[in-house]
Amino acid sequence: MTLDELRTERNALLSASDYAVLPDIPYTLSPAQRENVVAYRQSLRDITTQWETTKTKIEWPKVPFELGGNPLEGDDIPEESGE
Ordered per-residue pLDDT tens for the chain, 83 residues: 888 999 999 999 999 988 888 877 666 778 888 889 999 999 999 999 888 887 778 889 998 888 887 766 554 433 443 44
The total number of structural domains that make up the chain: 1
Q: How far, in Å, CA of 36 to CA of 63, rounded?
A: 9
Cβ-contact 38, 67 below 8 angstroms: no
DSSP structural state of residue 83? -
Is the pTM higher than 0.95? The answer reads no
**8 in a structural domain:** yes
Does a structural domain hold residue 79?
no
Residue 56 structural domain? 3-67
Answer yes or no: is 10 within a domain: yes
The answer to whether position 30 is within a domain reads yes
In a domain, 75, yes or no: no
CA–CA distance, 21 with 44 (Å, rounded to integer): 14
Three-state SS at 25: coil
